[in-house]
Amino acid sequence: MALSADGNIYVPYDKRTGGESTVYFTRDLSSEGLRKIYARISSTITGKTGIKLHTGEPHGPNIIPRAWVKDLIAEKLPGAHIVETNAYYEGGRYTTEQHRDTLKVNGWDFAPVDIMDEEGTAAIPVKGGHYFTEMHVGNHMLNYDSLLVLTHFKGHMMAGFGGSNKNIGIGCADGRIGKAMIHTTPGQPNQWDIAQEELMERITESMKATVDHFAPHIAFINVLRNMSVSCDCEGTAAEPVVTPNIGILASLDILAIDSASVDLVYALPEKDRHALVERMTSRHGLRQLSYMKELGMGNCRYTLIDTDNGDAVISLKDAVKDVKPFRG
What is the domain extent for residue 254?
Answer: 13-319
- Read off the amino acid at residue 190: N
CATH value at residue 83: 3.40.50.11440
Q: Is the pLDDT of residue 328 over 70?
A: no
Whether 1 is covered by a domain: the verdict is: no
- Structure confidence at residue 233 (pLDDT): 80
Question: What order of strands is seen across the sheet that includes strand 49-52?
Answer: 113-115, 81-84, 49-52, 146-152, 218-224, 247-251, 20-26, 301-306, 312-313
Query: What is the three-state SS of 90-152?
Result: CCCCCCHHHHHHHHHHCCCCCCCEEECCCCCEEEEECCCCCCCCEEEEEHHHHHCCEEEEEEE
Instruction: Tell me if 254 sits within 8 A of 164, measured CB to CB.
Output: yes
Tell me, yes or no, whether 5 lies in a domain: no
pLDDT tops 70 at residue 27: yes
CA 230 to chain centre: 14
Is 185 among the domain residues?
yes
At 36-76, the pLDDT tens digits run 999 999 999 999 999 999 999 898 889 999 999 999 999 99
Is the dihedral angle over the CA atoms 251, 59, 117, 1 positive or is it negative?
A: positive
Q: Compute the mean pLDDT over every residue in the chain, rounded to the nearest whole number.
A: 95
Residue 327 within a domain: no
Handedness of CA 102, 58, 324, 319 (dihedral sign): negative
| pLDDT tens digit sequence for 256-303 | 999 999 999 999 999 999 999 999 999 999 999 999 999 999 999 999
Work out the average pLDDT over 151-174: 97
Please name the helix (run of DSSP H) or strand (run of DSSP E) that holds residue 162, with its range, or none: strand 160-162
DSSP class of residue 173?
Answer: B
Q: Cα separation of 58 and 106, whole Å?
A: 6
Residue type, 127: K
Predicted pLDDT at 165: 98
Cβ distance 52 to 116 under 8 Å? no
Quickly list DSSP for 231-286: -GGGGGGPPPP-SPP-EEEEES-HHHHHHHHHHHHHTS-HHHHHHHHHHHHHTTTT
Buried b (16+ CB within 10 A) or exposed e, 55-93: bbbbebebbbbeebbebbbeebbeebbbbbbbbbeebbb
Does 24 fall in a domain? yes
174-207 pLDDT, tens per residue?
Answer: 999 999 999 999 999 999 999 999 999 999 999 9
What is the total count of domains within the chain?
1
121 strand-pairing partners: 138
Phi/psi-derived region of residue 145, left when phi > 0, alpha when psi is between -120 and 50, beta in every other case: alpha
Predicted confidence at residue 238, as pLDDT, reads 77
Dihedral of CA atoms 133, 135, 140, 144 in degrees, nearest 10, equals -60
Whether the pLDDT of residue 164 is over 70: the answer is: yes
